Amino acid sequence: MISFSAPLQSALTSLRRHPWYGLILIVLQISFLLSIGFIGLNYQVKVMENLQTISTIMNSANLDEQQLLEGNAFLEQTLTLYSAYKSLVRSAATLIIGLLLVFILFQAVLWTLSQRLVTGQLHSLKQWLTIFGKYCLSTILFIIPLLLVSGFLIFLFVRYEFNSSSIGNFSNFFIVFAVILYYFLQITWALLPSTSVRQLPHYWWSFGVCKAYLFFPLIIFLHGFVLLWIYLVYILMSNNSHFLILLLTTIFFILSFLFTRLYFIQFVKLHHDHHHSH
């Protein structure tokens, strides 16, 4: 039986041996969060502005039946409405694509470097590029079903005009589906580069399904640990806490990403080695 403390000790040992990798990972993690925040806030503001324009124009629509029969226009600003709609679609598409690209590229780099720090593999440029490509491809393959399901659900909402109860049921289904996909994506990230792509279905079954009682609670716990620091940073910012306390909490928040990722890689690696030894 592999203890839960062994991965932590291995992760700390790896950081002591290669502190520069740890520093690079911290810088990349900060860059990832800043990129997500910049794209999210920038295009979210544009989306909200376009929605406000559309709402204002629609609220001023001419609903008087007599005036419409006399030939008066239903909307006075048709061109403005069309322009706002096009801008809304463009901003929303840019927001989604931008967030997906940042997520895929940064996660690939972060997990590749983390694997190098933990396993000591990836010595040549070819190996680096190969694993980086595997991370990008695996992430895309998991995102595609999520996009297809979300698009299908949106189509159903628009086409059949479901009531609030049905929408709630579909939303719950989508959340469960997304959590399951992310769960297996985490296992996939941790297994690369120790496992070939052909072997992944075997480990999805042996680790993701047969040992779900170990891996799923661990992933929930690790992500809950990160969310705890996010919550603490939010509380301190809301209460205008002392700058030094806020700074230290933010540092621990950034470090939580690093340690939880390294811990999970080590945990999966130990189970992978134990699985092969039997």
For residue 42, give the amino acid letter.
Answer: N
Name the DSSP letter for residue 71: T
Question: 64: which residues sit within 8 A by CB, 6+ positions away?
Answer: 72
Q: Which residue has the tokens 């520093």?
A: 23
Is the pLDDT at 180 greater than 90? The verdict is yes
Is the pLDDT at 10 greater than 70? The verdict is yes
Chain centroid to Cα 92, Å, comes to 17
Residue with the larger pLDDT of the pair 194 and 188? 188
Residue 84 within any structural domain of the chain: yes
Query: Residue 242: what pLDDT?
Result: 79
Half-sphere CA count of 57, side-chain side, radius 13 A: 19
Is the pLDDT at 194 greater than 90? The verdict is no
Residue 209 within any structural domain of the chain: no
Tell me whether the omega of the peptide bond preceding residue 201 falls within 30 degrees of 0, making it cis. no
Residue 83 within any structural domain of the chain: yes
Backbone phi, psi, residue 19, to 5°: -65, -30
Name the DSSP letter for residue 206: I
Chain centroid to Cα 159, Å, comes to 29
Tell me whether the omega of the peptide bond preceding residue 193 falls within 30 degrees of 0, making it cis. yes
Residue 243 within any structural domain of the chain: no
Question: Rounded to the nearest 5 degrees, what angle is found at the Cα of 118, between the Cα atoms of 113 and 122?
Answer: 55
Cβ-contact 231, 253 below 8 angstroms: no
Mean pLDDT (whole number) for 22-45: 90
Residue 52 within any structural domain of the chain: yes
pLDDT tens, position by position, 235-245: 888 888 778 88
Q: Where does the pLDDT of residue 263 fall: very low under 50, low under 70, confident under 90, or very high at 90 and above?
A: very high
User: Which structural domain range is residue 35 located in?
Assistant: 17-60+76-120
Residue 110 within any structural domain of the chain: yes
Q: Which of 43-52, 142-151, 163-172, 269-278 has the lowest mean pLDDT?
A: 163-172
Residue 150 within any structural domain of the chain: no
Q: How many CB atoms lie within 10 A of CB 88?
A: 18
Q: Which residue has the tokens 């979210």?
A: 44
Residue 163 DSSP SS3: coil
Is the pLDDT at 148 greater than 80? The verdict is yes
CA 240 – CA 153 distance, rounded (Å): 41
Query: Residue 103: what pLDDT?
Result: 93
Is the pLDDT at 34 greater than 60? The verdict is yes
pLDDT tens, position by position, 198-232: 888 888 999 999 999 999 999 999 999 999 988 98
Is the pLDDT at 156 greater than 80? The verdict is no
Count of structural domains, the chain: 1
Query: Residue 155: what pLDDT?
Result: 75
